[in-house]
Amino acid sequence: MLDEYSASDKVLLALDCIIFGFDKEELKILLIKRDFEPEKGKWSLIGGFLKKEENLDEAADRILNKLTGLKNVYLEQLHSYSKIDRDPVERTISVAYYALINIEEHNEKLIDQYGAKWFSISEAPGLIFDHDIMVKHAISRLRYKTSKEPVGFELLPPKFTMKQLQKLYESILCEKLDKRNFINKINAMDILVKLDEKDMSSSRKGSFLYQFDHDKYKRKKADGFDFKV
């Protein structure tokens, strides 16, 4: 049996993280410039390799924190990529994760300390290896998840306006939503808390701020609540 292990091929296992953010106007992706060969100087997803003492989720958390400083963010495994020649240096399988973060909360650290850069999804540069394929799959997964669960709230600040929420969903779904219908659907879900505070930056009258009620959503989900925007 041990001979079977020693005679088997050894391959590297990488992890790549697709990091999405929202700046109150559009969906964005966080990229870094690769600082080693091959493809040095080109734009890349944030990534690294699995260590022997880690499981995949632990490795994804470590890599994300090491290269961005981020902790405790929404992180979900996406897909594995095993094309034989996907990495020109070594036979490497990659497991991709996607993360959702609030740009307003994390932006300064990401840009100043780690040299990362945000790009709008529509204007992102071409990426190394098969990273463009990963991003395409991640966007598709995000759209699906957004239609089933309130994951979009991970991209918003703790307090947000209804207009910001609608812009977020329009940006993710890549379609224009009717304002009245959207507000009616959201209000009917009864998972937001309307605050007495207003955002005065958008108009003279201002717009009421809201918060997502995590506890209420969990209770409603346990009762069979169907989330659908």
Q: What is the mean pLDDT of residues 173-185?
A: 94
pLDDT of residue 28: 95
Which of helix, strand or coil describes residue 32? strand
Confidence of residue 62 (pLDDT cuts 50, 70, 90): very high
- Do residues 29 and 121 touch, judged by C-beta distance below 8 A? yes
pLDDT of residue 196: 94
- 38 upstream amide cis, omega within 30 of 0: yes
pLDDT at 192 over 70: yes
pLDDT at 92 over 90: yes
For the domain made up of 158-222, give the CATH fold.
Answer: Arc Repressor Mutant, subunit A (1.10.10)
Q: What is the mean pLDDT of residues 15-27?
A: 93
Confidence of residue 118 (pLDDT cuts 50, 70, 90): very high
Summarize pLDDT for 33-45 with one digit per residue, the tens.
988 899 999 999 9
Token pair of 204 as six digits: 């003279």
Q: What is the mean pLDDT of residues 61-77?
A: 89
Percent of the chain at pLDDT > 90 equals 71
Q: Which of 114, 6, 93, 4 is nearest to 50 (CA)?
A: 93
Range from 3-12, 14-23, 106-115 that averages highest in pLDDT: 14-23
Give the separation between CA 16 and CA 46, rounded to whole angstroms: 6
DSSP 122: G
pLDDT of residue 109: 60
Provide CATH 3.90.79.10 ranges for the chain.
Answer: 2-148
pLDDT of residue 127: 97
pLDDT of residue 67: 80
Q: What is the mean pLDDT of residues 137-147?
A: 95
Percent of the chain at pLDDT > 70 equals 96
For domain 2-148, give the CATH superfamily: Nucleoside Triphosphate Pyrophosphohydrolase (3.90.79.10)
pLDDT at 113 over 70: no
DSSP 146: H
Confidence of residue 72 (pLDDT cuts 50, 70, 90): confident
Give the separation between CA 117 and CA 32, rounded to whole angstroms: 6
pLDDT of residue 108: 59
pLDDT at 87 over 70: yes
